[in-house]
Amino acid sequence: MCGIFGYIGPRTNGLELVVDGLKKLEYRGYDSWGVAADRGGELFVEKHVGKISGIDTKIFKNTSASLVIGHTRWATHGGVTDINAHPHFSGDKTVAVVQNGIIENYKEIRDELGREYFISQTDTEVIPQLIARYRKTMNFQEAVLAALRRLKGRYAIVAINVGTHQLIAARCGCPLIVGIGQDEHFVASDIPAFLEYTQEVMYLDDNEMVIIDGEASDERPLDQARGRRVTSSKRRETSRPSSGQARDEKEKFVTDHSSLHFLNIETSQPIQKRLVNIDWKAESAEKGEYDHYMLKEIMEQKATILRAIDQSDEDILKIAQTIRESRGCFFSGCGTAGKVCMAGEYFFSIIAQRHVNYAPASEFPVYHHFLRPESLLVVISQSGETADVLEAMEAAKKKKARVLSIVNVAGSTIARQSDTSLLINAGPEKAVASTKAATSQMTLLLLIAYAMTERLQEGRRLLAEVASKINDMLNPRFLVYIKEIAQLIREHNNLYIIGKAENYPMALESAIKIQEVSYIHAEGFAAGELKHGPIALVSHGTPCIAFVANDEVREDVLSNTMELKARGAYIIGVSPERHDVFDEWIHVPDVGVASPLVNIIPIQLLAYYLSVLRGLDPDMPRNLAKSVTVK
Ligand code: F6R
245 lines ligand 1 (CB under 6 A): no
311 lines ligand 1 (CB under 6 A): no
386 lines ligand 1 (CB under 6 A): yes
pLDDT of residue 228: 43
Helix H segments across 68-207? Answer: 106-113, 126-135, 140-148
Indicate if 508 and 359 belong to the same structural domain: no
The minimum-distance atom of ligand 1 relative to the CA of 432 is 8
pLDDT of residue 245: 36
Residue type, 260: L
Indicate if 536 and 464 belong to the same structural domain: no
Indicate if 532 and 591 belong to the same structural domain: yes
- The answer to whether residue 269 is domain-embedded is no
Q: How far is the CA of 628 from the centre of ligand 1 (A)?
A: 8
Ligand 1, atom 7, residue with closest C-alpha: 433
336 lines ligand 1 (CB under 6 A): yes
pLDDT of residue 216: 46
Indicate if 131 and 28 belong to the same structural domain: yes
Residue pair 42/218 in contact by the 8 Å Cβ criterion: no
434 lines ligand 1 (CB under 6 A): yes
Alpha-carbon distance of 600 to 586, in angstroms, equals 11
Task: Return phi, psi of residue 270, to 5°.
Answer: -65, 150
- The answer to whether residue 417 is domain-embedded is yes
Q: How far is the CA of 40 from the centre of ligand 1 (A)?
A: 42
Work out the angle between the directed axes of helices 504-518 and 595-613 (0-180°, nearest 10): 20
Q: In what order do the strands lie in the sheet with 402-407?
A: 357-360, 329-333, 376-381, 402-407, 420-423
Q: How far is the CA of 594 from the centre of ligand 1 (A)?
A: 21
Q: Encode 230-242: b = buried (16+ Cβ within 10 Å), e = exposed.
A: ebebebeeeeeee
Domain hosting 332: range is: 287-474
Indicate if 494 and 443 belong to the same structural domain: no
Indicate if 301 and 424 belong to the same structural domain: yes
Alpha-carbon distance of 403 to 417, in angstroms, equals 8
Angle at CA of residue 85, ends 81 and 90, nearest 5°? 120
Q: Residue 308, SS3?
A: helix
Residue pair 35/70 in contact by the 8 Å Cβ criterion: yes
Residue pair 610/514 in contact by the 8 Å Cβ criterion: yes
Please pick, among 398, 565, 626, 631, the residue that the annotation labels catalytic.
Answer: 626
Q: How far is the CA of 507 from the centre of ligand 1 (A)?
A: 16
Alpha-carbon distance of 544 to 570, in angstroms, equals 6
Alpha-carbon distance of 536 to 532, in angstroms, equals 9
How distant is the alpha carbon of residue 43 from its chain centre? 32
Q: Residue 289, SS3?
A: coil
pLDDT of residue 103: 96
- The answer to whether residue 256 is domain-embedded is no
Task: Return phi, psi of residue 597, to 5°.
Answer: -65, -40
512 lines ligand 1 (CB under 6 A): yes
Q: How far is the CA of 337 from the centre of ligand 1 (A)?
A: 6
Alpha-carbon distance of 210 to 193, in angstroms, equals 18
Going from the C-alpha of 33 to that of each of 74, 125, 514, 516, the distances in angstroms are 9, 15, 28, 22
87: cis peptide before it, omega within 30°?
A: yes
389 lines ligand 1 (CB under 6 A): yes
- The answer to whether residue 626 is domain-embedded is no
Per-residue pLDDT tens digits for 482-517: 999 999 999 999 999 999 999 999 999 999 999 999
How many CB atoms are closer than 10 A to CB 283?
9
pLDDT of residue 214: 74
Residue pair 545/524 in contact by the 8 Å Cβ criterion: no
pLDDT of residue 217: 37
508 lines ligand 1 (CB under 6 A): no
| pLDDT profile of the chain (631 residues), mean per 10 | 94 96 92 96 96 92 95 93 97 96 96 92 97 96 97 96 95 94 94 93 95 60 37 38 38 56 95 85 70 96 94 97 96 98 98 97 93 97 95 97 96 94 94 97 98 96 96 95 98 97 98 98 97 94 97 97 97 98 98 98 98 96 85 79
Alpha-carbon distance of 152 to 109, in angstroms, equals 10
Q: How far is the CA of 336 from the centre of ligand 1 (A)?
A: 5
The pTM of this model reads 0.83
Please pick, among 2, 172, 174, 334, the residue that the annotation labels catalytic.
Answer: 2
pLDDT of residue 278: 82
294 lines ligand 1 (CB under 6 A): no
337 lines ligand 1 (CB under 6 A): yes
Ligand 1, atom 6, residue with closest C-alpha: 334
Indicate if 439 and 298 belong to the same structural domain: yes
Indicate if 361 and 375 belong to the same structural domain: yes
Number of domains in the chain: 3
370 dihedral zone (left: phi>0; alpha: psi -120 to 50; beta):
alpha
Length of the chain: 631
Indicate if 381 and 488 belong to the same structural domain: no
629 lines ligand 1 (CB under 6 A): no
Of 455, 474, 493, the one marking the end of a domain is 474
DSSP string, 30-87: -SEEEEEEEETTEEEEEEEES-GGG--GGGGTT--BSEEEEEEE--SSS-S-TTTSSP
- Identify the sign of the CA torsion 531, 535, 536, 541: negative
Q: Which residues contact 107 (CB under 8 A, 6 or more apart)?
A: none
pLDDT of residue 287: 80
Of 195, 218, 241, the one marking the end of a domain is 218
- The answer to whether residue 238 is domain-embedded is no
- The answer to whether residue 371 is domain-embedded is yes
Alpha-carbon distance of 55 to 83, in angstroms, equals 18
Residue 135's domain is classified under what CATH number? 3.60.20.10
Q: How far is the CA of 600 from the centre of ligand 1 (A)?
A: 15
Alpha-carbon distance of 207 to 148, in angstroms, equals 9
625 dihedral zone (left: phi>0; alpha: psi -120 to 50; beta):
beta
335 lines ligand 1 (CB under 6 A): yes
The minimum-distance atom of ligand 1 relative to the CA of 335 is 9
Ligand 1, atom 10, residue with closest C-alpha: 336
Residue pair 220/180 in contact by the 8 Å Cβ criterion: no
Of 474, 493, 523, the one marking the end of a domain is 474
Q: How far is the CA of 441 from the centre of ligand 1 (A)?
A: 12
- The answer to whether residue 282 is domain-embedded is no
334 lines ligand 1 (CB under 6 A): yes
The minimum-distance atom of ligand 1 relative to the CA of 382 is 14
Q: In this structure, are strands 274-278 and 329-333 parallel, antiparallel, or unpaired?
A: unpaired
- The answer to whether residue 241 is domain-embedded is no
Indicate if 47 and 180 belong to the same structural domain: yes
Residue type, 452: M
> Which of 1, 622, 628, 631 for mutating ligand 1's site (highest number of atoms within 8 Å of CB)?
628
Is 626 an annotated catalytic residue?
yes
pLDDT of residue 166: 95
Q: How far is the CA of 335 from the centre of ligand 1 (A)?
A: 5
Indicate if 117 and 171 belong to the same structural domain: yes
Indicate if 484 and 404 belong to the same structural domain: no
> Which of 174, 294, 298, 336 for mutating ligand 1's site (highest number of atoms within 8 Å of CB)?
336
> Which of 382, 440, 626 for mutating ligand 1's site (highest number of atoms within 8 Å of CB)?
382
Going from the C-alpha of 575 to that of each of 110, 489, 588, 592, the distances in angstroms are 58, 19, 6, 11
Q: How far is the CA of 376 from the centre of ligand 1 (A)?
A: 22
628 lines ligand 1 (CB under 6 A): yes
